Amino acid sequence: MVVEENGQVKNEEGKVAIRRFPPYPQLVHVPGASYLFDVRNAVAIAWVNPEHVGIILSMMHTCCGGRTARQYYLADINAVKVWLGRNII
């Protein structure tokens, strides 16, 4: 894994870790690809192609009363380590 200067965590394939909150499994479709947010150790992460990061981060969730809220964020290295089951200390 590599942590870029802009905060993106990338795996060996160059895909970016995106975190979903609240953490439950979800399949997200973008033009030309689908990503599954997999929950491990109470963290939901999907590894996303760099060209789709902006699309997913801009997706909003509509909740009670018509409010909208973000549900996708760049995952930090600690979230990825927890997701992988590694000690973060």
Q: Across residues 27-44, what is the average pLDDT?
A: 96
pLDDT over 80 at 89, yes or no: no
How high is the pLDDT of residue 1?
82
How high is the pLDDT of residue 88?
62
Cβ distance 19 to 73 under 8 Å?
A: yes
Q: Where does the pLDDT of residue 42 fall: very low under 50, low under 70, confident under 90, or very high at 90 and above?
A: very high
Backbone angles phi and psi of 43, in degrees to 5: -130, 130
Cβ distance 45 to 20 under 8 Å?
A: yes
